[in-house]
Chains A and B, each alone.
Chain A
Amino acid sequence: MPLPDDKFSIISLRKCAHFALFAVFAIGIHAVESLVTLPIPWVRPGLTHIVTLVMLPFYGTKFILGVFLVRVFVGSALVGKLFSPGFLLALGGGTAATISMIVAWRFGKTRLSFLGISLIGAWVHNLVQVILATFIIQHLSVLVLLPFFLFLSLFTGTINGLLANKISPERT
C-alpha cells in the first residue's frame, strides 16, 4: 500500500527523500575523494560512480542523471572547483559516463554484473574527458594522453565495479 503522499503529489515525498539521500552520498564521496591527493593530477578513482551503479536497478534515467548533476555542481562548489576547467571535464565526462552506464544497464543487465557496466562507464568517462581537454587546450597533442587514461580507466572501473558488486543488494 502506497504512502498517502504518493497519491496526491506529482513527485512523491519518498522519491524526494531518496533523491536527497543518494545526492548526499555522492557529494560526500566526491568531497572526500577530492581531498585525497594522488601523485598525478587529474587522476581520481571516481568512486562517486558507485552511487550511480547502485541506483541503476531501482531508478529511472531522469532520477540518476539528476543525482549526478546535483552531485557535480554541489560537490565541485564544496571543493572550490566550480566552473574551473577541471569541473568542465568532470561535468562532460560524468554525463557521458552516466548515460553510457544507463544504456549498458538497459541492454546488458541480464549478462553483465556491475563490473562490466562500471568498466564501460569509466572508459567513456576518460575518453570524453580527454577529448574535451583537447578542445579546452586547443592542441591535438593532448590526445597523446588518451591511451594512458583509457588503460587507467580499466583499473579504476574494475575497482568501482567490484565495490558496487559487493555493496549492492541487487543481484544481476
Chain B
Amino acid sequence: MNVSTSASGVSLKKAKHRTRFLRVTRWDIAVLCALATLAGLTLFYAHPFKSKAKRVWISEGGKTIGYYNLNENREIRVKGPLGISVVRIYNGRAAIVKAPCPNKICMKMGPIPDRGRLMICIPNRLVVEIKGASKGKTDAVTR
C-alpha cells in the first residue's frame, strides 16, 4: 500500500516535470523580459557617447588658437609669420585649403578625419590636430 502510493507520487511528479521545459517558470520569463527591457533602455543612454563631438585643435607657434567642433562646417583663418593659412572644417573632416608656404605639403595631405591625426605646416608654424572621441581605434586592451 505504502509502496504503491509513493510510486504513484513519483510518477505524478515526473509527469508534472515533463510539462515544463527544464523547470522554467513563468517568473523566469518575466525576469528575462525585464532585464531585456532594461538593457534596451541603456541603448538610449549609451548612444550619445557614440557620436561624441570630435574637436579640432589649432595652434600657431605653440599658442592655442582655439578648439572647433568637427561637425560644424566652417573656415578658420590663421595668421602666421608667412601670411594667412585657411583651415576648412566640413563633413566631419578638417583640411588646410590655403597655405602661404612654397611647398604646400599640408594642403596635399588632404582632409583628416580621425582622432590623433594631425597636419603641420612648419613654415607657417601651424598645427592642426583632431582631439576627442575616436572611432575604430583602440584605446586600450585588457585581457
Q: Which of B28-36, B67-75, B98-106 contacts A (4 or more CB under 8 A)?
A: B28-36
Please tell me the size bucket of the interface on B: 20 to 34
Interface residue ranges, B against A (CB under 8 Å): 22-25, 27-28, 30-32, 35-36, 38-40, 42-43, 45-46, 49-50, 52, 133-134, 139-143
A171 to B35, CA, bound (A): 24
Q: Given A116-B27, A150-B38, verify A139-B142 contact (CB < 8 Å).
A: no
Chain A residues with CB under 8 A of B133: 141
Contacts of B23 in A (CB 8 A): 113-115, 165, 171-172
A99 at the interface (CB under 8 A from B): no
A21: B residues at CB distance < 8 A: none
- Classify the secondary structure of B's interface with A: helix
Q: Is the interface of A mostly helix, strand, loop or mixed?
A: helix
A113-B28, A119-B28, A151-B36 known; A140 and B42 CB under 8 Å?
Answer: no
**A9 an interface residue at 8 Å Cβ cutoff?**
no
Residues 22 to 75 of chain A near chain B (Cβ within 8 Å): 41-42
Counting contact residues on chain A (CB < 8 A from B), the size range is 35 or more
Partner of B142, one of A85, A161, A166: A85
Cβ < 8 Å to B, chain A residues 56-105? 81, 84-86, 89
